């Protein structure tokens, strides 16, 4: 097989009848675990899932025996080995598989003003998604502390949400720029926002030394593979001017252990795998940064809000994407909620400074 091709974890799903899905279940559970097999069983349904039932089954408790098998198979020595094929592929393949679905599809469940595809800040139980994303945008704006004339770069800029908030604050669009590996997002930013957004891999990119006052990322550092964290942290450090600032908002594993269920991530973000909190801290400090602030935030309300919005717009969603894509996002929001609810992952924000 050519580069980037693998027998592991197919990104595209075809509708399969109940008998076929049942036969595939043990074939996938044996190498990849029962969580991976079960989620794929749901995704492959030829009909849209019963969303609330899927949410309850994915996020609910399981019998102790099933829970034990879920948490211990594949065995620890096999987990990284199973992931290696995916972690060698080009980042572009995984990013495109998740993000180049349809801009309009994402508009169905993201907030209307900014289109943030990252954790919001729900300050009150009755906050709307729009209010919570405004809270998040304002909080991160304060962390970035942008000023007119500063050269500011966003790594993995999505649909330009934070670039838009910074522009609202500074009125300076000329010095704002972003990078993304999604062609759909490049198109969106060009047509809707007029931001300087390049199609490039921010992980492998070579940066001009001391070119930026601020470099930040929101929901993109998750795609940095564990062995890439330290080199990228050093690149970011070197690309900042003395006294420059780095802000990163992303989720990571609470402990260095790679849980058995981590393999399920390949159903949604092929080629990406979460890194450990401590590994990021060591990488940032090893690059030379002075960490000035850290905080932890709750992703669960955002995931439930996206789920509810997608369900409410089911009819239009199924006009834009096939049933399996719809099912994939329904299970993704529920499985991600479970990941955070079990305390396996956490959403963190880091503020760092390069010494003057």
Domains of the chain: 129-300+340-353 (3.40.50.150)
Q: Which residues contact 2 (CB under 8 A, 6 or more apart)?
A: none
Q: Identify the helix (H) or strand (E) that includes residue 270.
A: none
Which position has the token pair 């907030």?
A: 111
Q: 242-274: per-residue pLDDT in tens?
A: 999 999 999 999 999 999 999 999 999 988 898
Q: Which of 339, 329, 276 is nearest to 71 (CA)?
A: 339
Q: Which of 96, 197, 94 is nearest to 155 (CA)?
A: 197
Q: 340-355: per-residue pLDDT in tens?
A: 999 999 999 999 999 9
Q: 186-231: per-residue pLDDT in tens?
A: 999 999 999 999 999 999 999 999 999 999 999 999 999 999 999 9
Q: 119-149: per-residue pLDDT in tens?
A: 999 999 999 999 999 999 999 999 999 999 9
User: Does position 35 have pLDDT exceeding 90, yes or no?
Assistant: yes
Q: Which of 60, 27, 67 is nearest to 261 (CA)?
A: 67
The pairing of beta strand 290-297 with beta strand 345-353: antiparallel
Predicted TM-score (pTM) of this structure: 0.93
**Distance (Å, rounded) from C-alpha 20 to C-alpha 41?**
9
Q: Identify the helix (H) or strand (E) that includes residue 154.
A: strand 152-155
Residue 271: CB atoms within 10 Å: 26
């Amino acid at each position: 097989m050519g580069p980037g091709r693998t027998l592991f974890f197919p990104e595209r799903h075809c509708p399969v009848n109940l008998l076929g899905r049942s036969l595939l279940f043990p074939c996938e559970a044996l190498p990849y675990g029962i969580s991976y097999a079960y989620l794929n069983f749901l995704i492959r349904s030829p009909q849209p899932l019963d969303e609330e039932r899927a949410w309850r089954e994915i996020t609910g408790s399981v019998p102790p025996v099933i829970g034990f098998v879920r948490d211990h198979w594949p065995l620890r020595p096999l987990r990284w080995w199973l992931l290696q094929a995916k972690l060698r592929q080009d980042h572009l393949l995984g990013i495109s598989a998740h993000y180049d679905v349809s801009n309009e599809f994402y508009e169905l469940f993201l907030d209307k003003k900014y289109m943030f595809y990252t954790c919001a800040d729900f300050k009150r139980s009755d906050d709307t998604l729009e209010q919570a994303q405004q809270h998040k945008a304002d909080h991160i704006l304060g962390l970035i502390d942008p000023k007119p004339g500063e050269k500011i770069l966003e790594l993995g800029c999505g649909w330009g949400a934070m670039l838009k908030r910074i522009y609202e604050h500074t009125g300076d669009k000329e010095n704002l720029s972003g990078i993304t590996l999604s062609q759909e997002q490049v198109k969106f930013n060009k047509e809707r926002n007029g931001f300087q957004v390049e199609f490039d891999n921010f992980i492998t990119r070579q940066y001009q030394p001391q070119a930026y006052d601020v470099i930040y990322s929101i929901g993109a550092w998750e795609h940095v593979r564990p062995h890439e964290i330290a080199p990228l942290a050093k690149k970011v450090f070197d690309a900042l001017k003395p006294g420059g600032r780095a802000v990163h908002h992303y989720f990571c594993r609470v402990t260095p252990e790679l849980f058995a269920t981590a393999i399920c991530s390949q159903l949604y973000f092929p080629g990406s795998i979460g890194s450990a909190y401590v590994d990021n801290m060591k990488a940032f400090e090893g690059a030379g940064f002075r960490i000035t602030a850290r905080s932890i935030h709750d992703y669960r309300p955002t995931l439930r809000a996206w789920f509810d919005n997608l369900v409410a717009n089911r009819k239009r969603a199924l006009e834009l994407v096939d049933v399996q894509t719809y099912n994939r996002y329904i299970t993704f929001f529920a499985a991600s909620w479970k990941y955070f609810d079990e305390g396996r992952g956490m959403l963190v924000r880091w503020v760092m400074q390069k010494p003057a």
